[in-house]
Structures are given as structure tokens and as C-alpha cells.
Amino acid sequence: MFCAIDFGTSNSAIAIPGPGRSTGADDPATMHLVELEAGQVTMPTAVFYFAPTSGAVEAGGPPRAFGRAAVAAYVDGLDGRLMRSMKSILGSSLIDQTTDAGGGRGVKYLDIVAGYLKHLKTRAEAQAGAPIRRAVIGRPVFFVDDDPLRDAQAQAALETAARQIGFDDIHFQYEPIAAAFAYERSVHTEQIVLVADIGGGTSDFSVVRVGPLRAARPDRKADILANHGVHVAGTDFDRRVELAAILPAYGYGGFGPGAAGAPAREVPSGVYFDLATWHLINTVYNPMRVAELRGMRGFYADPVHHQRLMIVLEERLGHELAARAEQAKIDVAEGGTTRIDLSHTERHLSAALTEHAAAEAIESDVLRIVAAARHAAAQTGLAPTQIDALYFTGGSTGLRRLAGRIAAAFPSARAVHGDRFASVATGLGLHAQRWFGRPGAATS
């Protein structure tokens, strides 16, 4: 028995052999995506650690909820701590550190990742009816930009977490290449495809030669013509939107009172950058930091801004603001305007967001992503007009402006949109089937 895991920044999935929601032909031996939650084969990459006083109980570890249940526990105001975007910690110094999981209980970030992977594995084993010790695990082209050592450390940390929960035969595959395998099922002639996999944490591009005669080959290294990526994607868009549209109401970009004819100085921005970064939000709740920020009231020309900021810190509303920024980005992704409800911090408070404003906020990120796509193609020596198809996957490819800008860089390519949340998992499943089905795979 083996599996394929798509451990994503925002959402994750796992595939195993057998009947179910098929990733390939209707064959009992083919791969299918495991139902992780009711009717859902993808699950938010989120963990909620219940406070020790909550009464929640879980065998084999601290009481936790995963996926949508984790987000629901947080939204319902249960006492505990929500963890999201755990993948972004890989390759950082945080991975070996211990963080407060609520109630003074410490947990290592590596163990948070391992606990989430174990939940996926447990769900798959329950459906398979057998233990699973072999896995293909997806990885971005770069966990960390322009730092090969830290990138290698990130993969090593992910492998350590996987071995910690019982996998002993582990093979990694680039996520955009896996997506190319998913696209390949629908082609009838040989093509050069540029896969754009833009998820929550990374934007990855691979140029892959695909075709019906190549699909059955277990080793596809020769068909991978180039790959490139940048550590910029959906969570960065959310951060930009929050800073541009929401946090100004709480003082970001504001100024303090002028004194003795000197020009007014901008209020310190560090707290706002941390509030807009998922894995740093909890750092602003440190009692010493809250006390320090409480004493900075005189830094604000508008005391209302400081008052709102302190409500966010004292009532721990940072993740809620980030979630509302993410939803606002989604609401304007295909045009229009939305109003962001902020009444949970002040009655009747809200902020407007237009598609144009969101586009302006993420413009620098879009330029980096388009440049990465061009760079991937340039590595092959091919002209942009020689790319036959663009295959879009990943949640952030739903942003019309982003997909359009990438398509404009390759005017001759046919744009194809795959399953934004399951294409990578599907392709990893196909690869796992070929990899572990090859001669001698059982002892690799």
C-alpha cells in the first residue's frame, strides 16, 4: 500500500490505490482521492489546538481539530490556537522552535506539521484498511527562493516529519510537474506545456513535454525541460490586501502628532506587518508586546486608530482580520466591489475593496510571478510562441488579472484551467502509481 500527498500551504489532499473518486481510468488499481471531510477530498491546511481547559480529548496527542473543523473552532470562539500556513515554516528557523499552543502548553512547529500529516495518513489508512508506509510527497520548485541550503533543509524537515509518523519509503515530486501529469490525460498529441501552479505559498512553473506515448513511462526526467518558482502566491496577496484595505483603519500608514514644528512621523509599522502574516499573528499577542503597544498611544495622531488596534490585540482578532482579507480578495477576483465588514472591532466599521484596488495592491507580486513564468520558459531555449499550452492549477489562478497577465506572455499557447485544488494531488497519485508499481519498487 502507498499514497500520494499534496501538502499545500492553504489546502491538502491524499490519494491511494483503489476504487473511489478516480484520478485515472476506472480500474480497481488506479489512484483515487481520499474523502477527508464530509464530501470533500481537499481539506484546509489548518490545525486548532484546544486549550487544556476546553475538555476536548484526543488519543495519541494534544486535543486538536483539523481542516474545516479547525477553522470552525476558531470562528466559534473556542479557547485555543489556530495554526495555518504551516508549510511556509519549512526552511525557516522556526521549524525547530517551540511555540505556545494555548494554556502555556508548548509544541514544536515540526510536530505541528507531523501531526497534520498523520491526520491525512490516518484518514487514508482507515479507507484503505491497511497501514501505509510508502509515499510520494509533493514539493514546490523552491521552498525558499535563492537559497539552495535552506531549500534542502525545508525538504529534509518535511521528510523528517513524514518518517516521524511512520513513512519509511518516501519519494518527492515537484508539484507543477505532478499537475502536468494530470493535464496529460486529456492530450492526444505531443505538446510542450507550461504548468502554472500558483497556490497559497509558492508560484511554481514547469515546462514539460507531454503526450500519450510518454504517459506510460515511469521515469519522466527527460521530459522535464525546465522548472522555476518564486515564494510569492495567495497568502502574499492576502497580506497585501489586508495592508492596503483593512489595516489603515487600525493605524497602518497613519502619522503621529507633529511636535515643535517638526514633521509628523509615521506610526511604527512592525505590528501591522505581523498582523498580516498568518504564522506571525500570534507573536503580537505576547503580553509584553501588548503592554508596549498599549503605551504607544501618544504615537498616534488619531487615538481611534490606536483604540481599534488594541481591541484587535486584546481580543485576539488578528486571524479574523486576515480571513476577511482573504475572502475580500476572492470576492473581487473576477470583477466588482466588495465591502469588508469590520464591525467585530467597532460598530458599523467597514472598508471597501474594488478589483482595481486589489490589483494595484498585488501588482509587484504579479510582476514577479510573470517574470518567473518567462524565466522558466527561457531556460528551455524556446521562444514564448513555442509553448503549446498553459495549464493553470492552484487556488490563486482563479484571480482573473493574474491568469490573464501570464497568458499574455505566451500569446500562442492555449490556456487550460485544471481543478484548482485537486490537479496536483491527482498528478501525484498518477506518479505514485507509476513509481511504486515499477519493478523493485517494494524495496526501494
pLDDT in tens, 241-285: 999 999 999 999 999 987 766 788 899 999 999 999 987 888 899
At 116, the amino acid letter reads Y
The pTM assigned to this predicted structure is 0.80
412 within domain boundaries: no
* pLDDT given for residue 59 in this prediction: 56
Please write down the HEC assignment for all residues of 209-277.
Answer: EECCCCCCCCCCHHHEEEEEEECCCHHHHHHHHHHHHHHHHHCCCCECCCECCECCCECCCHHHHHHCC
- Average the pLDDT over each of 218-232, 376-390, 391-405 and give the range with the smallest value: 218-232
* pLDDT given for residue 267 in this prediction: 93
The two beta strands, 224-230 and 203-210, are antiparallel
Contact (CB, 8 A) for 13 and 432: no
Q: Residue 387: which of 195, 182, 177 has the closest Cα?
A: 195
CA distance 254 to 265: 9
**pLDDT band (50, 70, 90) for residue 443:** very low
Q: Are residues 14 and 157 in the same domain?
A: yes
Q: Are residues 176 and 102 in the same domain?
A: yes
The more confident residue out of 286 and 438 is 286
Domain region containing 324 = 236-361
pLDDT digits (tens, 9 = 90+) for 318-365: 989 998 999 999 899 877 899 999 999 999 999 999 999 999 999 999
226 within domain boundaries: no
383 within domain boundaries: no
Q: Are residues 261 and 329 in the same domain?
A: yes
Q: Is the pLDDT of residue 61 over 70?
A: no
Q: Are residues 314 and 250 in the same domain?
A: yes
Q: Is the pLDDT of residue 27 over 50?
A: no
Dihedral sign from CA coordinates of 76, 82, 87, 92: positive
Q: Are residues 134 and 256 in the same domain?
A: no
**Burial, 158: exposed, middle or buried (Cβ in 10 Å; 0-12, 13-18, 19+)?**
buried
DSSP string covering 280-340, please? Answer: GGGGGG-HHHHHHHHTTGGG-SSHHHHHHHHHHHHTT-HHHHHHHHHHHHHHTTTS-EEEE
How far apart, in Å, are the Cα atoms of 131 and each of 75, 135, 166? 34, 12, 9
Mean pLDDT of the chain: 89
**Burial, 252: exposed, middle or buried (Cβ in 10 Å; 0-12, 13-18, 19+)?**
buried
135 within domain boundaries: yes
Q: Choose the final residue of a domain: 361, 391, 409.
A: 361
- Strand (E) or helix (H) holding 33: strand 31-33
214 within domain boundaries: no
- Which CATH number is 158's domain given? 3.30.420.40
* pLDDT given for residue 440 in this prediction: 59
CA distance 430 to 290: 50
427 within domain boundaries: yes
- Average the pLDDT over each of 220-224, 225-229, 379-383 and give the range with the smallest value: 220-224
- Average the pLDDT over each of 35-49, 84-98, 150-164 and give the range with the smallest value: 84-98
CA distance 6 to 117: 10
* pLDDT given for residue 10 in this prediction: 87
CA 243 to chain centre: 19
Mean pLDDT in residue range 181-189: 91
Q: Is the pLDDT of residue 20 over 70?
A: no
Q: Are residues 242 and 99 in the same domain?
A: no
**pLDDT band (50, 70, 90) for residue 66:** very high
Q: Report phi then psi at 276, rounded to 5.
A: -95, 5
Q: Are residues 39 and 157 in the same domain?
A: yes
CA distance 175 to 208: 12
Contact (CB, 8 A) for 118 and 11: no
Q: Are residues 174 and 307 in the same domain?
A: no
* pLDDT given for residue 318 in this prediction: 92
Mean pLDDT in residue range 140-153: 89
CA distance 354 to 331: 9
Buried b / exposed e across 184-199, counting CB within 10 Å, b at 16+?
A: beebeeebbbbbbbbb
Q: Are residues 36 and 124 in the same domain?
A: yes
Dihedral sign from CA coordinates of 181, 182, 187, 188: positive
- Average the pLDDT over each of 69-83, 119-133, 298-312, 391-405 and give the range with the smallest value: 69-83
213 within domain boundaries: no
In percent, the amount of the chain with pLDDT more than 90 equals: 65
* pLDDT given for residue 21 in this prediction: 46
- Average the pLDDT over each of 207-221, 265-279, 305-319 and give the range with the smallest value: 207-221
Q: Are residues 139 and 265 in the same domain?
A: no
382 within domain boundaries: no
**pLDDT band (50, 70, 90) for residue 222:** confident
At 328, the amino acid letter reads A
Q: Are residues 78 and 159 in the same domain?
A: yes
DSSP symbol at 37: B
* pLDDT given for residue 22 in this prediction: 44
CA distance 305 to 316: 16
Domain count along the chain: 2
Q: Is the pLDDT of residue 41 over 90?
A: yes
Q: Choose the final residue of a domain: 330, 361, 392.
A: 361
Q: Are residues 136 and 57 in the same domain?
A: yes
- Strand (E) or helix (H) holding 130: none
Q: Is the pLDDT of residue 158 over 70?
A: yes
DSSP string covering 53-119, please? Answer: GG----TTSS-EEETHHHHHHHHTT-SEEEEE-GGGGTTSGGGGSEEE-STT-EEEHHHHHHHHHHH
- Average the pLDDT over each of 31-35, 45-49, 145-149, 354-358 and give the range with the smallest value: 145-149
Q: CB atoms < 10 A from the CB of 178, how many?
A: 28
**pLDDT band (50, 70, 90) for residue 420:** confident
Mean pLDDT in residue range 293-320: 94
Q: Choose the final residue of a domain: 345, 361, 377.
A: 361
CA distance 203 to 354: 24
